[in-house]
Structure 1
Amino acid sequence: MPLVRIDMIRGRSTENTRAIADAVQQSLIDVLKIPERDRFQIIALDAGLGFERTTSGAVIVHIFTQHGSTTRDKQRLYRTLAQRLAASGVDGKDLFVSSFENGPEDWSFADGRAQYVEGDLAVPGHCPIHDHRRATGVARGQRRPPRPTMLLCTRICCRNPPCVKPSTWPYVLSSSPAR
């Protein structure tokens, strides 16, 4: 769930502003594989940019997201943004992109609570089964105590099945022993 802030010079039409926002969203969907419904954008007009490179004006895209994107992913995202925004009339020389990565402890969606940390929300792109060491406080290399009932993760994000988790997680019960 990236949070995106798009700064641009006032004077663009509503349609052009919408096209820019749509191009940014589609780039995130295509490159970072975020769900289409995860559209959290702040559009700021005349936010004190203080510089211009061409007559169309600067567009600055700030992307706040959780850790996990590789350098290649980011480079591909920057290229995709430039290509899609060019179709919306943004000159490549006017495009500035900054990407900020942080962890689940850095997000609060309501009531002053860290919903990812408190377990109210699943961390995007992270399987709670693979992240069980962080969730249970077991350090890397240590063994966790055996659990009587184990579950098999059925989420798409799991690439190393079979992964198991104590029965407190809402996953399919596995008839195979824990590995």
Structure 2
Amino acid sequence: MDSGDGERIEVTAMTDDEYLWEPVRNCWSIRPQAAGPGPGATMLAGAGDWGRDAGRPHPWPPPITTIAWRLAHLSEMLTLRADYTVGSRSLTEQHYVFHGDVTGGLRDFAEGTRSWRAALVSADDAALDEVGRSSYPYGSDPEEPFLEIVWWVNQEILHHGAEIALLRDLYREQRG
């Protein structure tokens, strides 16, 4: 990949160990449903064999989370927000299927970004000002202009993407 200044750099493929690595005690992650929620979580969100640690109410301060948790959070958010913008408006976090391996996690993220992009390209200038264009029920979407939701989603991708990059650096250094 390009480093940003024209220099070519090699980015190593992520392993399942790195994807699920817990850098500190009491991390939130993606876990087998049979194992139940991790420390401090009150539930595992999702359908299928794996779930995402979650809490109701949301804990403060928020727990440290794994790459798997962060990537799953982004994938779920993109998919559900797209559904509540241009889809069936019916998906919930309990419908979403999480994966305990990096291949599934990256595939879900790619699909979530495709879905969200489809929602974005369907919006003209008037749609960006439309209040409630996204009716996603787990945020302020129904009360906000769509442009505010787009801003929020971009902020989440940048925020969690940077955290994933930092965790990759820490994992690499920890492993030598």
TM-score (norm 2): 0.22
More strand by proportion, 1 or 2?
Answer: 1
Return the index of the structure with the highest Cα Rg: 1
More helix by proportion, 1 or 2?
Answer: 2
TM-score (norm 1): 0.22
